[in-house]
Homo-oligomer: A and B are copies of this chain.
Amino acid sequence: MSQTVDRALSILPLLAEGPANLEQVATRLGVHKSTALRLLRTLHEHGIVHRQPDQRYRLGARLFALAQQAVENLDVREIAHPHLVELNAQTGHTVHLAVHEEDEVLYIDKVESRYPVRMYSRIGKPVAITVAAVAKLLLADLPEPERRSVAEGLDYPRYTARSITNSSAFLAELAKVREQGWATDLGGHEESINCVAAPVHGPDGRCVAAMSVSAPNVVVSADELLTLLPLVRRTAEAISAEYSGKTPPRQSPSEASPS
């Protein structure tokens, strides 16, 4: 809509790949160097990009700070966190919290496994939307037309032999998940990783977030992981109840600031 802003914002993903100098930015943006310079200057003034000693540009600190503030303002996260910690304490496995936004599903909180074999994931990172258990729950909750249109607009990478690889299979899976009220991913993303997930509902019944417990085969088998399902569902329901104001918020642990 706004050409100038559009160009400026297009610089960001470009810099996310790694540092670049003025000429590279100008070329990849398809504009004159002087134009790129002015855009970069403006981004720089706002701290969105940073200039390295070698004059190349990188994404800057304020971007972190913004993302930070944004994630802290998500009230589901705030409420859910102690529950995630507790679930982690009870099971020992990695616990994730995810939300749906703009055709992406992304982790907004995580508590690490106590086992030495960890899985790679990061808060803020989009999940494998076609296979992740949390993604299934969040998409399954969409109204039919939107669910269909989203499903048909996705790519279906074949991460493993057990990945879902087309929209009709995905929609069928979503229907099943919608029906049963929980979801799994059994080796659909990484051959050796299984997850069970349950939905967090808002006061209007819509699914506002989903949480999952993930563990590699080498620690527990899929069957064993499934025995945790009732616990996961209870936890998700506790979060839902609190989020909807049906339960008083829990006492939060003491916190202070370091240097």
Contacts and interface: CB of A to CB of B under 8 A. Distances in A.
Nearest to A125: B68
Nearest to A63: B67
Contacts of A165: none
A256 B102 contact: no
Interface residues of A, number: 82
Nearest to A119: B258
The CB with the most chain B CB atoms within 10 A, among A18, A67, A118, A212, is that of: A67
A4 B70 CA distance: 23
Interface string A230-259: 000000000000000000000001111111
Given A4-B2, A42-B6, A102-B61, A259 B185 contact: yes
B102 A47 contact: yes
Interface stretch (A25-33, A146-154, A187-195): A187-195
A127 B192 contact: no
Given A63-B67, A64-B123, A66-B16, A43 B9 contact: yes
A58 interface: yes
Given A4-B5, A94-B258, A257-B119, A66 B68 contact: no
A175 interface: no
The prevalent SS among residues of A at the interface is: mixed
A122 interface: yes
A65 interface: yes
A44 B166 CA distance: 28
Contacts of A61: 101-102, 104, 106, 124, 126
A48 interface: yes
A188 B259 contact: yes
A46 interface: yes
A4 to B, nearest CB: 4
A38 B1 CA distance: 6
A122 B68 contact: yes
Given A16-B65, A120-B257, A193-B259, 18 more contacts: A1-B45, A2-B8, A4-B5, A6-B46, A8-B8, A8-B9, A63-B66, A67-B67, A67-B68, A94-B258, A116-B253, A117-B254, A118-B255, A120-B255, A120-B258, A132-B259, A134-B259, A195-B259
